[in-house]
Amino acid sequence: MPPEVEDALSSMTAVNNEFFYWVSIALMMLIHAGFLAYEVGASRSKNVLATAMKNLLAFATIVASFYFVGWFLYNAMPSGFIEFNDAAKAALPWSDNMGPNIADPASGIFWGAFALFAATTGSIISGAVLERIRTSAFLILTVLVGSVVWIIGAAWGWHGAGWMLTKLGFHDVGAAGCVHMIAGFAALGVLINLGPRIGRFREDGTAVTIRPHNLPLTMLGLMLIFTGFFGFLMGCVIYSGDGFTTIYASPTTLSAFAFNTLMGLAGGIIGAYLTSRGEPFWTISGGLAGVISVASGMDLYHPALGFVIALAGGAMIPYIGKLLEKFRIDDVVGAVAVHGGMGLYSVLMAGIFLAGYPNTDGNPSISFWGQLIGAVVFAALGFIPAYVVSLGLKKAKMLRIPPEVENQGLDLTEVPATPYPEGIPVTTMPTNGIHAEVLIVEEKVKA
């Protein structure tokens, strides 16, 4: 082949590689548009703008802090400890690779894809703690998880040289563990210290359902997240121009991801629909639960198996939500059940159904015990730092807004704007687990 043809092919491969991840970043932005709509709809009308602002601020603070800290940690900590190897030095914010370096045009694209993964962890926590957390406390916690905690987990278990792969044969190709599980368990740690919204539980512990003010918007937000998930999964593979490999450098195809993503989505929706008896919020959340359920092994599952795993996963989330209510945990969007619970489930299912499957050269085969140890590590990595830091904020009286502010709504105190100047009803429904009277209070705002 003439040298000029080889050069042209090489250039085309490089451009295609960069464009592949550029598109993945664009699609992942839909995840954050979806989370914003999802959480705004799940809030009561007196908190919708504050909810939207928290999503915007979480995105901005995580992207900035991930540039200065997170990307370095991913490249420095695969062994379990910080090492100033060549990749780590190249990820330092003052490195030539972390700017408009023509000699290395792809660094920013790869960093951008991981930065969007990081921002997803912040959005997961954001939905769980709606309507009662201080903005300053939320931003401290979301930067902790988004730019430090999850990326350490990714370096350990979602990296071709990570110690969880090289020592345990750990397999989590779709980041169910290092993204969803860590963020879900971090949300649980924060919720324990934050406490439930005022009126969420009666004195005897009976749960009171506080309805979303706009359930259709919440459902639309989840559909946007489903769309953005295809960009998320694009970032979970390595594209070289000659084909695709997983993050662990094992061969794969986009067909495997397409089959199992769609079958997981379908299975999760059906499973949640059946066990929630058609409750819309849990039904559509089941789609997200289904995709997460199959994420750890979606490069290797047969689509029929993926559907069954997701069907069971979607069926479980309403029960996990009810279990959390028994402990007076007020998770507004079901983040602990969907992300934490299904992340754990996904990692363990890969250990059951993929046990004995050979890993990349020189690494142990996939095993249940390796997956179990990895799951314990991720659970601790998510829960402990978030619990300790949120406890410190609670002790300093910096975690939760005052009761009078919570009753009036955050929009009146935090946001210089009015979301619905014509007025909109606020609906709550006290329940005893089956049905109860419906109390509708109309808040009218007159110009």
Tell me: the pLDDT tens digits for 114-148? 999 999 999 999 999 999 999 999 999 999 999 99
Residues 6+ apart with CB under 8 A from 315: 271, 272, 274, 275, 286
Q: Give the per-residue pLDDT at 20.
A: 87
Higher-pLDDT residue of 252 and 433 is: 252
Q: Give the per-residue pLDDT at 419.
A: 83
Q: Give the per-residue pLDDT at 15.
A: 59
CA angle 163, 167, 170 (to 5 degrees): 80
Residue 418 neighbours by CB distance under 10 Å: 13
The rounded mean pLDDT for the chain is: 90
pLDDT digits (tens, 9 = 90+) for 288-331: 999 999 999 999 999 999 999 999 999 999 999 999 999 999 99
Q: Grade residue 101 by pLDDT with cuts at 50, 70 and 90.
A: confident
Residue type, 328: R
Domain extent listing, the chain = 13-395
pLDDT digits (tens, 9 = 90+) for 262-281: 999 999 999 999 999 999 99
> Does the pLDDT value for residue 439 go beyond 90?
no
Q: Give the per-residue pLDDT at 447.
A: 39
pLDDT digits (tens, 9 = 90+) for 160-193: 999 999 999 999 999 999 999 999 999 999 999 9
| Alpha helices (H) along 237-332 | 254-275, 280-295, 303-326
Q: Give the per-residue pLDDT at 446.
A: 39
Q: Give the per-residue pLDDT at 360.
A: 86
Q: Which residues of 107-125 are buried (b: 16+ CB within 10 A; e: fewer)?
A: bbbbbbbbbbbbbbbbbbb
Higher-pLDDT residue of 19 and 35 is: 35
Q: Give the per-residue pLDDT at 7.
A: 53
Indicate yes or no: pTM above 0.85.
yes
Question: What is the mean pLDDT of the segment spanning 82-111?
Answer: 90
The CATH code for residues 13-395 is: 1.10.3430.10
Q: Give the per-residue pLDDT at 19.
A: 86
Q: Give the per-residue pLDDT at 105.
A: 77
Q: Give the per-residue pLDDT at 433.
A: 36
Based on the number of CB atoms within 10 Å of its own CB, is 254 exposed (0-12), middle (13-18) or buried (19 or more)?
Answer: middle
Q: Give the per-residue pLDDT at 17.
A: 74
> Does the pLDDT value for residue 437 go beyond 50?
no
Question: What is the mean pLDDT of the segment spanning 380-398?
Answer: 98
pLDDT digits (tens, 9 = 90+) for 21-50: 899 999 999 999 999 999 999 999 999 999
pLDDT digits (tens, 9 = 90+) for 400-428: 999 999 999 999 888 888 787 766 554 44
> Does the pLDDT value for residue 438 go beyond 60?
no
> Does the pLDDT value for residue 429 go beyond 60?
no
Higher-pLDDT residue of 336 and 8 is: 336
pLDDT digits (tens, 9 = 90+) for 339-359: 999 999 999 999 999 999 999
Q: Grade residue 430 by pLDDT with cuts at 50, 70 and 90.
A: very low
Share of the chain above pLDDT 90, in %: 81
Tell me which long-range contacts 233-238 makes (C-beta under 8 A, separation of at least 24).
233/174, 233/257, 233/261, 233/298, 234/20, 234/21, 234/23, 234/24, 234/27, 235/21, 235/24, 235/25, 235/28, 235/113, 235/114, 235/116, 235/117, 236/173, 236/174, 236/175
